[in-house]
Chain A
Amino acid sequence: MINESTVLKLAAQLRIQLTKEEVEKIAKDLAQIVEYFEQLNRLEELKNYEPSYTPTTKVNALREDEPRSGLSQSDALRNAISEKGFIKAPRI
C-alpha cells in the first residue's frame, strides 16, 4: 500500500522536501505503521458507534460580538520579514 512513490506524492502535496534516504526510510516505516493500524479494521463492532471528534460535551461556544484588542502591528510583524507593514512571502 505505501511505497516510495506514495511517499513522494504525499511529500509534494504537503510541501515537504525529502532526501532520497528519507523517502526510503519513511516508506519502510510508514508501511509497517499502516499495517499496525489495520488492526482497527478487524473490529466489526466499530460500525455500531458514531465517530466522535472531541471528548468535550461543549458545543458552539460563542461570545458577545464585542471588539477586543489583539496583537499590535509591530508584534505581529516581529517574527516575519516585512516591507511597508506587509509580511513578505515568496512569489506565487
Chain B
Amino acid sequence: MVRILSIHILDAHELAAKVLQEEISAKDVVSFFLERISKINPALNAFVYTNEASALSQASQVDVRKRQGEKMPLAGVPIAVKDVISVKDYQITCGSKILRGYIAPYDATVVERLKKAGAIIIGITNTDEFAMGSSTENSAYGPTHNPWSCTRVPGGSSGGSAVAVASGLSPVALGTDTGGSVRLPAAFTGVFGLKPTYGAVSRYGLIAYSNSLEQIGVFARSVKDLALVYSVISGADTRDGTTQNFGWDLFSCMGNSIENWKIGIVKETLAEGVDVSVQDALRDCSSYLERLGASVEEVSIKHIPFSLAAYYLIAMSEASSNLARFDGVRYGEHTSFEEEWNVEFSKVRSLFGLEVKRRILLGAYSLSAGYYEMFYEKAARFRSLISEEFKEAFKQFDVLLTPTSPTPPFRLGEKLQDPLMMYLSDIHTVPVNLAGLPALNLPVKIVQHDGELLPVGVQAIAPYGRDDKLFTLASALEKSAFIKKRIVEPWGRIVWTN
C-alpha cells in the first residue's frame, strides 16, 4: 500500500495507475484531498463549494467499477471544476449572487465524460462573476488568492482552478477561456493552461458568457496530465453543434521532435508595456527552443493591437444576450410576487455585480440600432481580418509565441478602479479567441519581481485544429527540464519540485 501522506505531489496519471493497481483506493485519494482542501483552501479561497458526500460516493463507485475490471483512464483522479460548468447536485453560481442556491440538475458533457473515465469532481472553484474578469476579484464569494503571494491576484477568470492545481489541492482542473481566462491564471500561478481549438470541446452544460469565443480548458502540472484530461473531455457532441472531432493522438505527439520547426515570435506583442522580466522569459524560451533544433524568428501580425477592442465588443454583445435568461424565475435568487414582472425582473437583476452590469449595458449598446454597424459589425469584420492574418503567419511557422501576460501577477485591488486597465491584461490572449485557435500557457520561469518570487508564462499558439502541435512543443520543453513542476503553498513556499 502506498503511503498516503503526500499523494498531492503525484500527477493524475500516476494516481490513476496506483488506483487501478489497487495500491490505494479512490476513496482514500478523495478523503486525502478533501482534508487537504479543508486545511489549505481557507487562505486561498480557490474552492467555493465542495460536496463531500457526493465526492466520497463517486469514489466508492469507482472502487466498485475497478474491482469489476473496468479500465478507467482517470480512475480515482480528483478534478476541480470552475463554477460555470454544470455538475449534477452541486451548487453552481457563476460567482454571482443571482444564482445563489442554484443546484445543477444535470452534468455538463465534459463532466459526464470525466465521470465515465473514473474521475471524481472534488469541488467547484471560484471565478470572476460569469467569467467576466482577469483576476478572480469580481466573484460575489470573495477573491481567490495567489499562493505565490498574499498580495497578488492569481489571474482570472479561472483563478480558483489554477490555484487548486498550483497548490496541490487537485492534480488537474477545468476552467473556461473566453479571452484568456485559462491561460492568464495559468501564467500567474505557474501551471500549464490549455485553451482548445474552438469546437474541440463541448460547451453543453457550460453556462454561457460568449458562445463564439469560449471553450472549456484544462489546467495541469504536466503535459501528460493535460493530454489525459484533454483526450477524455474533447470530441464531437451532438448536444453542441459547434463541436467536431479532430482525431489527434496526443500521447504519440508528445514523443515527436521539434527539430527544424519554425517558431515565430509575434513582434507586436513585444511592444511597450511588456515588463522586462516577461521579455526575458520569452527570450530564454526562444534560445532554448533553438538549442532543441527549432529556428526562431520574429513575425508580424499587423492588426493584433486592435484585437482587444474587437474582442470586448463581441464578448459584451453576446453576454448581454446570454445573461437575459437570469430573471429570478426558473433558477437562482427568486423574485417576490408583489409587483409586475418588469419591476421584479429589474430588482432581481440588480444582484449582478458592477462589472457584469457594465458589460450587459455596453453589449446592448453596441448591438442597438444606429450603433450596430459602427461597433458590433465592425468587430465581426475584424474577426475575419485577424483570422486571415494568423492563417498567413501559419503558412511559414509551426507555432507562434507571445508573452501570456504583459506583466507578472499584479496586486489585488491594483486594477479594480479602471476597467480598461483590467481589460488590457488580456491583450495577448484575446486575439486567439477571435480566431478560434488553440493556445497553451507554458509555465517557463519563476522571476524575482518587486521583491517576490513570481511565475511568468509564455503563450504558444497553433493553427486551427492543430492542438497536437502544442503538446509536441510543451513536451519537448518539459522533457529537457526547461519547464519544472512545482507545488506552492501560501505564501510562496515551494513545498515540492521535480
Give A contacts to B, CB under 8 Å: 2, 6-7, 10-18, 22, 25-26, 29-30, 32-34, 36-37, 39-41, 43, 45-47, 49-56, 58, 61, 63, 71, 75-76, 78-81, 87-92
Contacts and interface: CB of A to CB of B under 8 A. Distances in A.
Interface string B369-397: 00000110111111111011000000000
Contacts of B340: 90-92
A34 B362 contact: yes
Interface string B340-358: 1111111101101010011
A88 B341 CA distance: 11
B420 interface: yes
Interface stretch (B36-44, B307-315, B401-409): B307-315
Interface residues of B, number: 73
B360 interface: yes
A11 B362 CA distance: 10
A8 to B, nearest CB: 10
B212 interface: yes
Given A36-B308, A79-B102, A90-B335, 15 more contacts: A10-B364, A16-B357, A17-B346, A22-B354, A30-B365, A32-B419, A37-B366, A46-B382, A49-B381, A54-B198, A55-B383, A56-B436, A71-B105, A80-B329, A91-B341
Interface stretch (B163-171, B237-245, B466-474): B237-245
Contact of A87 (B101, B330, B337, B344): B330
A70 B249 CA distance: 33
B261 interface: no
A29 B358 contact: yes
B496 interface: no
B327 interface: yes
6 contacts: A22-B357, A33-B312, A39-B309, A55-B198, A56-B198, A90-B336
A79 to B, nearest CB: 4
Given A37-B312, A79-B332, A89-B329, A52 B106 contact: no
A28 B105 CA distance: 40
B341 A18 contact: no
Nearest to A71: B105
A42 to B, nearest CB: 9
A61 to B, nearest CB: 3
B420 A32 contact: yes
Contacts of A2: 365
Nearest to B238: A63
A41 B378 contact: yes
A40 B334 contact: no
B327 A10 contact: no
A16 B312 CA distance: 21
Contacts of B384: 49-52
Nearest to A42: B306
B474 to A, nearest CB: 22
B493 interface: no
B199 interface: yes
A39 B310 CA distance: 10
The listed residue with most B CB atoms (<10 A of its CB), out of A7, A25, A39, A51, is A51
B342 A15 contact: yes
A18 B306 contact: no
B345 A15 contact: yes
Contacts of A50: 381, 384
Nearest to B360: A14
B33 interface: no
B381 A46 contact: yes
A62 B343 CA distance: 39
B103 A78 contact: yes
Nearest to A26: B358
Contacts of A63: 238
B434 interface: yes
Nearest to A13: B364
Contact of B374 (A25, A29, A41, A89): A41
B434 to A, nearest CB: 7
Contacts of A58: 199, 241-244
B435 interface: yes
A26 B436 CA distance: 31
Contact of B378 (A18, A40, A80): A40
B450 interface: no
A7 B329 CA distance: 25
B375 A37 contact: yes
A88 B366 CA distance: 33
Contacts of B320: 14
